[in-house]
Amino acid sequence: MATEVSTVVVADTRGKHRILAELKRLEQETRSLEDELQELERTEKVSVACQELLLMIDSRPDPLLPVTTGPSNPYWDRWFEGPQDPQGCRCWIL
């Protein structure tokens, strides 16, 4: 009968440790979610700044690209299109 009492105590401490470990995990998850929530609250200000930056960048022409004043050359587009042959491209890349 004495052995039964000791096994109950051992099982009880393992249960306590399991509960404490689960509680610690939940506290860590809560802290993580609170940190993420605070970061999201600050993100709104950042997204507004990013929108303003994008508007400012889009309004200025790229200094590295030439400015075209007339109609673009339609032959240039053929390099960006697929093959004109109905059978497709015959080149094979291994």
**CA-angle at 67, arms to 61 and 69, nearest 5°:** 130
Q: Which residues, 6+ apart, have CB-to-CB distance to 67 below 8 Å? A: 61
Question: Residue 34 — pLDDT band, cuts 50, 70, 90?
Answer: very high
Decide if pLDDT at 10 tops 60: no
Q: Which helix (DSSP H) or strand (DSSP E) does residue 52 occupy?
A: helix 2-59
- The answer on pLDDT for 94 being more than 70 is no
Domain residue spans of the chain: 9-59
**Does residue 71 contact residue 77 with C-beta atoms inside 8 Å?**
no
Average pLDDT over residues 9-38: 87
Residue 7 has pLDDT above 70, yes or no: no
Residue-wise pLDDT for 75-85, tens only, equals: 776 676 766 66
Higher pLDDT, 77 or 40: 40
Q: How far apart are CA 46 and CA 39, in angstroms?
A: 10
